[in-house]
Amino acid sequence: MAGIRHLIIFFLLFDLSIGINIRDQSSQLSERIDCFPESESIFSNYSKDKCLERNCLFDDWVPSDTIQCYLRPNYGYILRENPQQTENGIRLRLQRNQAVGSMFPAPIENIVLDVQHYTNDIIRFRLYDEDNQRYEVPIPLSSASSQVSSAQYEFHHWSDPLRDNILSFSIKRQSNQATLFDTSLGSLILNDQFLQIVTRLQSPHIYGFGENSHDTLKHNVNERKTWGIFARDQGTHWGSNANQYRSHPFYLVMEQTIDSN
Q: What is the CA radius of gyration of the chain?
A: 21
Q: Which of 2, 7, 42, 43 binds ligand NAG (CB under 6 A)?
A: 43
- Judged by CB, which is closer to ligand NAG: 43, or 61? 43
- The secondary structure element, H or E, covering residue 210 is strand 206-212
Closest CA to 122 of 90, 92, 145, 156: 145
Please identify, using beta-carbon distances, which residue of 44 and 98 lies nearer to ligand NAG: 44
77 strand-pairing partners: 96
Q: CB-wise, 11 or 104, nearer to ligand NAG?
A: 104
Q: What is the dihedral of CA 97, 103, 108, 113, to 10 degrees?
A: -60
Distances, alpha carbon 249 to alpha carbons 14, 100, 133, 243, in Å: 38, 30, 23, 11
Size of the site for ligand NAG (CB under 6 A): 3
Distances (CA, A) of 49 to 27, 73, 91, 107, 129: 19, 20, 39, 21, 31
The residue range among 42-50, 108-116, 137-145, 164-172 that interacts with ligand NAG, by the rule CB under 6 A, is 42-50
* Nearer to ligand NAG among residue 43 and residue 135 (C-beta): 43
Stretch that binds ligand NAG, among 40-48, 91-99, 117-125, 167-175 (CB under 6 A): 40-48
Residue 135 found at the interface with ligand NAG (CB under 6 A): no
Instruction: Output the residue with the shortest Cβ distance to ligand NAG.
Output: 45
User: Which of 21, 27, 28, 44 is close enough to bind ligand NAG by CB under 6 A?
Assistant: 44
Cβ at position 41, least distance to ligand NAG in Å? 8
Q: 141: closest CA among 118, 117, 171? A: 118
Beta carbons within 10 angstroms of residue 188's beta carbon: 23
Which residue, 28 or 44, has its beta carbon nearer to ligand NAG?
44
Return the residue of 17, 45, 175, 220 that touches ligand NAG, per CB under 6 A.
Answer: 45
Would you tell me which residues interact with ligand NAG (CB under 6 A)? 43-45
